[in-house]
């Protein structure tokens, strides 16, 4: 299926989504978010897709929510339309999602990347929440996810000044997992996704849910949830296979059951 704002392909077990509004530096308008959500629904329903990579162009992952689209909103229309509501579909994806970020990841672009499970950054990546310069503030999770990723002082500095962070600083601040040369970004992201795709799919989903719980609930509830997920893996064939393979000194053959 062809999309107006995305390029979509699968590479083996990996679904690759490329944001594709080059003239607007991949600014995220309602149509793009709707198309992105359609693809995520399809990838989630497709058993052959085991991990997803979201990327943009070499110049921009995404330069934010589409300012031209937002311009005409007033408070009442923003509230009534709740136009940011569809954005968090990607955060609810049960399969692992990797953001492969080159160039600008600003405003909603940074927020979209932070909704993914792992951010892999090209060495030319730049992250920021410049909404303050537009007389507004991050509206798709920036004030909440950034502080959890990089801590209060740095998050506050970025949100209140609109300063951008380069890839090295983002790595040092733990916003991104790793920085790679821009030319290798997609290959590295696919390699990472492939590594995850080789594991047991149900156990990957459970591990992802357990890690995400740490950002959503308190420590005691999180520990209880983790333990229930851990014990639940003992109901899978893959847990038996994984441990037996270790004992037998061979590689496991997971069947996703």
Binding residue (CB under 6 A) for ligand CAA from 57, 67, 147, 169: 67
Selected catalytic residue, list 35, 131, 171, 188: 131
Query: Judged by CB, which is closer to ligand CAA: 33, or 207?
Result: 33
Q: Does residue number 64 form part of the binding site for ligand CAA (CB under 6 A)?
A: yes
Could you say which DSSP state residue 48 is in? T
Please report how close the Cβ of residue 189 comes to ligand CAA at its closest, in angstroms.
22
Q: Does residue number 27 form part of the binding site for ligand CAA (CB under 6 A)?
A: yes
Cα gap 245→37, rounded to integer Å:
38
Q: Does residue number 111 form part of the binding site for ligand CAA (CB under 6 A)?
A: yes
Query: Judged by CB, which is closer to ligand CAA: 148, or 226?
Result: 148
Query: Judged by CB, which is closer to ligand CAA: 134, or 205?
Result: 134
* Contacts (Cβ under 8 Å, ≥6 apart) of 50: 13, 14, 95, 96, 193, 196, 197, 201, 204
Selected catalytic residue, list 15, 91, 109, 111: 111
Selected catalytic residue, list 63, 65, 91, 99: 65
Query: Judged by CB, which is closer to ligand CAA: 160, or 211?
Result: 160
Cα gap 103→210, rounded to integer Å:
31
The tokens 């090209």 sit on which residue? Answer: 122
Handedness of CA 233, 205, 92, 35 (dihedral sign): negative
209 conformational bin, left if phi > 0, alpha if psi -120 to 50, beta if neither: alpha
Query: Judged by CB, which is closer to ligand CAA: 15, or 64?
Result: 64
Tokens linked to 102: 């080159």
Is 111 one of the annotated active-site residues of the chain?
yes
CB 86 within 8 A of CB 38: no
Binding residues for ligand CAA restricted to 69-98, rule: CB under 6 A: 84
Cα gap 108→129, rounded to integer Å:
8
The torsion angles phi and psi of 23, rounded to 5 degrees, stand at -70, -20
Q: Does residue number 108 form part of the binding site for ligand CAA (CB under 6 A)?
A: yes
Binding residue (CB under 6 A) for ligand CAA from 132, 139, 156, 256: 139
CB 96 within 8 A of CB 196: yes
Q: Does residue number 115 form part of the binding site for ligand CAA (CB under 6 A)?
A: no
* Contacts (Cβ under 8 Å, ≥6 apart) of 58: 102, 103, 122, 124, 182
Is 131 one of the annotated active-site residues of the chain?
yes
Binding residue (CB under 6 A) for ligand CAA from 56, 96, 142, 242: 142
Binding residue (CB under 6 A) for ligand CAA from 15, 107, 242, 252: 107
Binding residue (CB under 6 A) for ligand CAA from 6, 13, 16, 25: 25
Residues identified as active-site: 65, 108, 111, 131
Which positions touch ligand CAA (CB under 6 A)? 24-25, 27, 63-68, 84, 104, 106-108, 111, 130-131, 134, 138-140, 142
């Amino acid at each position: 299926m062809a999309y107006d704002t995305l390029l979509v392909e699968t590479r083996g077990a990996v679904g690759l989504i490329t944001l594709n509004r080059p003239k607007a530096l991949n600014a995220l308008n309602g149509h793009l978010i709707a198309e992105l959500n359609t693809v995520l629904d399809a990838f989630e329903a497709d058993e052959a897709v085991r991990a997803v990579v979201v990327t943009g162009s070499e110049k921009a992952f995404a330069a934010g929510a589409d300012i031209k689209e937002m311009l005409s909103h007033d408070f009442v229309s923003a509230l009534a339309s709740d136009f940011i509501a569809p954005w968090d579909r990607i955060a609810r994806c049960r399969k692992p999602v990797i953001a492969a970020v080159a160039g600008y990841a600003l405003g909603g672009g940074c927020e979209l990347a932070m909704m993914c499970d792992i951010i892999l950054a090209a060495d030319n990546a730049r992250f920021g929440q410049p909404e303050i310069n537009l007389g507004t503030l991050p509206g798709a999770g920036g004030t909440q996810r950034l502080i959890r990723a990089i801590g209060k002082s740095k998050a506050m500095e970025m949100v209140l000044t609109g300063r951008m962070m380069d890839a090295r600083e983002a790595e040092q601040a733990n916003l991104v997992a790793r920085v790679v040369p821009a030319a290798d970004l997609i290959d590295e992201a696919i390699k990472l996704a492939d590594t995850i795709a080789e594991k047991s799919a149900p156990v990957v989903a459970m591990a992802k849910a357990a890690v995400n719980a740490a950002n959503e609930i308190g420590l005691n509830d999180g520990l209880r949830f983790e333990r229930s997920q851990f014990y639940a893996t003992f109901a899978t064939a893959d847990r038996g296979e994984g441990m037996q393979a270790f004992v037998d000194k061979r590689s496991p053959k997971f069947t996703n059951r």
